[in-house]
Amino acid sequence: MNHSIYSADRGTHLKIVVVALVAGIAVAGLGIAARVTTDDGYTQTAHVIKAGKPVVITSSNASTVR
């Protein structure tokens, strides 16, 4: 068994990569499985807002400061 990553042979490096890959897949699988999939009506829906006719807003009570 090699105690240094610098002096490790090809087999040791391969074992490290395989263990890291398996651990990553396990964490991703647990994350996907932990999602809440109940449909309690909290889902977001898109509402379409259509533009109406253009409106001009003016005000004669505004004072101009220069």
How many angstroms separate the first and last alpha carbons of the chain? 82
32-56: average pLDDT: 76
Q: How many structural domains are present in the chain? A: 1
Q: Is residue 44 part of a domain?
A: no
What pLDDT score does 24 carry?
A: 96
What pLDDT score does 7 carry?
A: 80
What pLDDT score does 9 carry?
A: 85
Q: Is residue 54 part of a domain?
A: no
Q: Are 8 and 2 in contact (CB under 8 A)?
A: yes
pTM of the model: 0.49
Q: Is residue 12 part of a domain?
A: yes
Q: Is residue 55 part of a domain?
A: no
Task: Give the domain range for residue 10.
Answer: 1-37
List pLDDT tens digits, range 9-43.
Answer: 888 889 999 999 999 999 999 988 887 666 666 66
Q: What's at 47, amino acid-wise? A: H
